């Protein structure tokens, strides 16, 4: 007797529509089962975030046209660190040498694998791999210092990879993916540093940076989670991170880390799904370790949160050129207004601020007004300016109704 799942059955001369549909569904189920068995999942055996309604919507196939009425089904953006790092995306921690960016990214790892708060922010417990492309020995000592300071041993959810990786080589990326599958999946990957992970590439080349970003995004999509790159600023730190501008454009989050005389700070230089201007301060505290095999003393450092100095909040600068230009001009204008205001708070209307700034914005004349408006709105969002009823002032200087 011919099995009804045999494809030859479809050529039978007489068959009802109901039977045909039953056979089609059965064949689809068999194909799906075979595909699932032959394709390993990076999420297998891992603690993965719950599927959102957005994932279910994507099952309809590519390019499905959504109505606005379907938007509620997509759900809210989930954060691994509340208001800072999303569950899924591409992020960069960047700063000058010795700024503390690697130490801070390691502290992110500790918070995520233990589910502990990070600078007072809730975290979602994650499995994290830290790929140390440089400073492997120093990293091992920092981990030991961290465990001693917090009186804990990092759980198995924290893993460290000390082999070199080149994101410009497909074989390296595929090998890392395969290892992740072998170990049951991961949800966050930290790669320290980007420069070491693109050996032979030119950071300023759009082609090379594009290749690296493509590899980082491929890793991010493969794990269905978050990839964090640790990166450097250029010679002029005020111009932000080193390399081609496509890097900043591709990021969901960029966190700048700065070193000051007595402390370090971090702030969100870019946040696609979070509020700009979020910041924190920390110290690098020395921790004494066990002597080495020859009895010589050893020590390392650990990140310890501290209060943000008030003067530091006032001294921070916007990450974007147009915003820096606008803020500088408005500070001068507000200072001049304050000098003749008999002690009244210095204010300026939004429209007047736009008119004053637009001529100094480096854009095509027909776009200058729009760019000035965007820059000023960005300053308001980042708390560089206060706004009330269309009137602007420096933070803390405008009177409110309580």
pLDDT tens-digit series, residues 85-136 = 999 999 999 999 989 999 999 999 999 999 999 999 999 999 999 999 888 8
pLDDT at 21 > cutoff 80: no
Mean local confidence (pLDDT), 219-231: 97
Tell me which range, 26-40, 128-142, 337-351, 374-388, is most confidently predicted by mean pLDDT: 128-142
| pLDDT recorded at residue 33 | 56
Mean local confidence (pLDDT), 141-158: 96
pLDDT-wise least confident of 41-45, 123-127, 240-244:
41-45
pLDDT-wise least confident of 26-30, 137-141, 196-200:
26-30
pLDDT at 16 > cutoff 60: no
| pLDDT recorded at residue 345 | 77
pLDDT band at 306 (very low <50, low <70, confident <90, very high): very high
| pLDDT recorded at residue 343 | 65
Q: What is the pTM of this model?
A: 0.66
pLDDT at 49 > cutoff 70: no
Cβ neighbours for 255, distance < 8 A, ≥ 6 positions apart: 84, 91, 92, 93, 94, 104, 266, 267, 268, 269
Query: What is the residue-averaged pLDDT of the chain?
Result: 83
| pLDDT recorded at residue 301 | 95
Using a pLDDT cut of 70, give the percent of the chain over it.
81
């Amino acid at each position: 007797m011919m099995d009804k799942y045999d494809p030859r059955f479809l050529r039978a001369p007489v068959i009802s529509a109901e039977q045909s549909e039953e056979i089609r569904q059965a064949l689809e189920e068999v194909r799906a089962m075979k595909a699932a068995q032959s394709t390993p999942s990076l999420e297998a055996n891992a603690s993965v975030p719950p599927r959102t309604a957005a994932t279910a919507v994507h099952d309809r196939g590519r390019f499905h046209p959504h109505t606005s009425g379907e938007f509620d089904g997509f759900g809210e953006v989930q954060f691994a660190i509340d208001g800072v790092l999303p569950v899924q995306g591409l992020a960069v921690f960047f700063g000058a040498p010795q700024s503390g960016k690697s130490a801070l990214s390691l502290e992110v790892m500790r918070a995520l694998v233990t589910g502990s708060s990070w600078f007072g922010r809730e975290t979602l417990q994650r499995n994290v791999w830290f790929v140390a492309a440089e400073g492997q020995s120093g990293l091992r000592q920092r981990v030991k210092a961290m465990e001693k300071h917090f009186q804990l041993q990092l759980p198995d959810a924290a893993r460290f990879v000390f082999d070199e990786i080149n994101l410009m080589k497909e074989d390296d990326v595929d090998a890392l993916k395969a290892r992740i599958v072998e170990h049951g999946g991961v949800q966050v990957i930290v790669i320290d540093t980007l420069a070491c992970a693109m050996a032979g590439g030119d950071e300023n080349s759009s082609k090379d940076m594009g290749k690296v970003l493509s590899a980082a995004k491929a890793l991010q999509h493969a794990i269905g989670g978050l990839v964090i790159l640790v990166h450097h600023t250029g010679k002029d730190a005020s111009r932000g991170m080193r390399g081609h501008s496509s890097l900043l454009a591709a990021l969901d989050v960029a966190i700048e880390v700065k070193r000051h005389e007595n402390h370090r700070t971090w702030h969100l230089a870019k946040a696609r799904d979070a509020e700009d201007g979020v910041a924190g301060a920390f110290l690098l505290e020395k921790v004494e370790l066990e002597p080495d095999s020859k009895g010589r003393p050893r020590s390392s450092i650990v990140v310890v949160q501290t209060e943000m100095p008030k003067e530091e909040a006032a001294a921070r600068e916007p990450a974007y050129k147009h915003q820096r230009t606008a803020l500088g001009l408005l500070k001068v204008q507000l200072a001049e207004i304050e000098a003749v205001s008999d002690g009244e708070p210095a204010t300026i209307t939004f429209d007047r601020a736009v008119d004053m700034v637009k001529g100094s914005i480096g854009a095509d004349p027909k776009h200058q007004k729009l760019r000035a408006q965007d820059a000023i709105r960005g300053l308001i969002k980042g708390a560089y300016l206060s706004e009330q009823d269309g009137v602007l002032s420096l933070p803390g200087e405008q009177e409110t109704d309580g």
